[in-house]
């Protein structure tokens, strides 16, 4: 197994591994080690069935099912989420900077995204290192943020929408997380707020929170903390959702893209 870093900020490509195989425990351990070191690992030219995709993901923990996005799941496989942009679509799924589903009480470990069809040009994904975002703050700002928690929330489709005569019903899911979060495996501190789901600081109004949150959103995604990933059919990415953010670029109108995503529970 050959691990080659992508940039100084985060990310590495891994060569010499066929994810469709039943990999040895030592190979899985090496992949997990690379993920913890580089926050994002990338495999090229893979060919996976949904079952092989899920089998690989399960080697890292139980799978998270998205009851609130069940319409996007593969039939009979609720853990496999289809992420599709058709040629006529103008919006892309998850288009702002975010870490996945931080409105849940226990943040998910990460996601494994498999490219089925990609545009000839465009459609890259940006990833940001939240360890660096924390470490580059001033001591005074770190000390203040250490005392704060933040509200993460999202409006999602209700699991039983339609059961009570209200098809398409939505509910708001939300929770609170420390602004500075300690990674459960590496024990490193990272900045844990994101533009998509973080709405305010606990005990403050949205208006009071907005100036500092806006500074943190901008700070967390500056170029020095980023990797830009170019996709191709058969590309597989595995990112650590506990210490990264990502943003898909919506610059390929008129072209189709399809990916399958499996998320590993925290």
- Residue numbers annotated as active site: 98, 100, 246, 261
Question: CB burial class (10 A; 0-12, 13-18, 19+) of residue 218?
Answer: exposed
Distance CA 191, CA 146 (A): 10
**178: enclosing H helix or E strand:** strand 170-178
Assign 253 to helix, strand or coil.
Answer: coil
Distance CA 177, CA 150 (A): 6
Name the residue with tokens 């100084």. 8
Residue 67, phi then psi, degrees to nearest 5:
-60, -30
Cβ(251)–Cβ(118) below 8 Å: no
Distance CA 99, CA 108 (A): 9
Kind of pairing, strands 12-15 and 40-43? parallel
Length in residues, the chain: 266
128 Cβ contact partners less than 8 Å away, ≥ 6 residues apart: 9, 10, 97, 220, 221, 225, 226, 244, 245, 246, 247
Name the residue with tokens 């998910």. 108
């Amino acid at each position: 197994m050959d691990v080659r870093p992508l940039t100084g900020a985060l990310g590495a490509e891994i060569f010499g591994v066929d994810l469709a195989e039943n990999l040895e425990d030592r190979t899985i351990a090496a992949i997990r080690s690379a993920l913890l070191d580089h926050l994002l690992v990338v495999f090229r030219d893979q060919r996976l069935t949904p079952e092989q995709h899920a089998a690989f993901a399960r080697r890292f923990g139980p799978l998270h099912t998205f009851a609130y996005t069940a319409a996007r799941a593969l039939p009979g496989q609720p853990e496999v989420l289809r992420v599709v942009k058709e040629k006529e679509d103008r919006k892309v799924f998850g288009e702002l900077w975010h870490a996945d589903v931080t409105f849940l009480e226990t943040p998910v470990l990460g996601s494994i995204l498999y490219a089925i069809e990609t545009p000839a040009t465009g459609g890259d994904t940006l990833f940001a290192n939240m360890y660096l975002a924390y470490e580059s703050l001033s001591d005074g700002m770190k000390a203040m943020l250490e005392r704060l928690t933040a509200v993460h929330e999202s409006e999602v489709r209700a699991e039983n929408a339609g059961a009570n005569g209200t098809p398409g019903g939505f509910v708001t899911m939300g929770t609170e997380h420390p602004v500075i979060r300690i990674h459960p495996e590496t024990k490193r501190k990272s900045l844990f707020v994101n533009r998509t789901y973080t709405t305010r600081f606990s005990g403050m109004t949205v208006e009071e929170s907005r100036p500092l949150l806006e500074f943190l959103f901008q700070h967390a995604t500056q170029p020095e903390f980023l990797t830009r990933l170019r996709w191709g059919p058969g590309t597989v990415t595995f990112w650590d959702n506990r210490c990264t953010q990502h943003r898909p670029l919506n610059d390929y109108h008129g072209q189709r893209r399809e990916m399958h995503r499996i998320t590993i529970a925290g």
